[in-house]
Amino acid sequence: MDGQTEGGAAVDIETGQITWEKAELGGLSVDSVRMVEGSLLMEAARPNLLLIFDPVTGAVVFDSRRLGIAQVVTRRVLPQSGTLLVHGRRAQGPPVVALYDLVTGEQRWANETLFEQTEPKKKGLGGLMQNLVRVASEATALEVLQAGPDMIVVNTLTGLRAMDARTGAVRWSTSLPTARAGNPARHVRLYPSLDKTIASPTARRSGPRRRWCRGGCTTSCNIPAGSSSSPNRRRRTRRRAT
């Protein structure tokens, strides 16, 4: 086959029967078919086409032609939600980020606004640097910092973005501090928030507390203002139950 495949097929090693065939894999070099990092899926790549499929069933999870993606930049399996996160660039139009179901290959959502500028546009050299950073971020793989059932947090060169895991809408975004030379932050980590409840020192003891006071207090005592607060000289008003 001169180092190229005429098509893709899977063979059952126990029975020797062909379980599935894919003509889309024809014409690909053997080196173009490899495993997706961090998963059991396979990917087959050639110019303007990337297929990600299940090698056991042959089911296609992702086909770059569906969204018109010319270059796939990010492909990340999210095992907690059973999904595949893909980010790619188009020949025309904005870049797109999409989420796919690992079992059915169904597209759950697509987002075309993730890389939009959130800061005020600058003029002159500052504006030129903003455009360069945005273009570079579109061509850089997304760093997934959190991938839960409710929210997906990613790090781009322009800052952090939190997307709704169900709809793909951006919930919040924030810019990260940069060095004087304009280099973006390289090491970004998320940590769980801490409960900063501060206990008052006066709340250490529970139950009624006996306090000696001077005149003018709010307790029911007969000590006039300016008199001694000694326990031996304190008088209390007693009420008899009627």
> Average pLDDT for residues 183-210, to the nearest whole number?
51
Over 90: is that where the pLDDT of 170 sits?
A: yes
Q: What is the 3-state secondary structure (H, E, C) of the chain?
A: CCCECCCEEEECCCCCCEEEEEHHHCCCEHHHEEECCCCCCEEEEECCEEEEECCCCCCEEEEHHHCCEEEEEEEEEECCCCEEEEEEEECCCCCEEEEEECCCCCEEEEECCCCCCCCCCCCCHHHHHHHHHHHHHHCCCCEEEEECCCEEEEEECCEEEEEECCCCCEEEEECCCCCCCCCCCCCCCCCCCCCCCCCCHHHCCCCCCCCCCCCCCCCCECCCCCCCCCHHHCCECCCCCC
Asked if residue 108 lies in contact with residue 83, where contact means CB atoms within 8 angstroms, the answer is yes
170-174 sheet: strands from edge to edge? 143-147, 151-156, 159-164, 170-174
- What proportion of the chain, given as a percentage, has pLDDT over 70? 70
Over 70: is that where the pLDDT of 99 sits?
A: yes
pLDDT in tens, 14-56: 999 999 988 888 777 878 889 998 888 999 998 888 999 999 9
pLDDT for res 221 = 46
Spatial neighbors of 46 by CB under 8 A, at least 6 apart, are 27, 28, 32
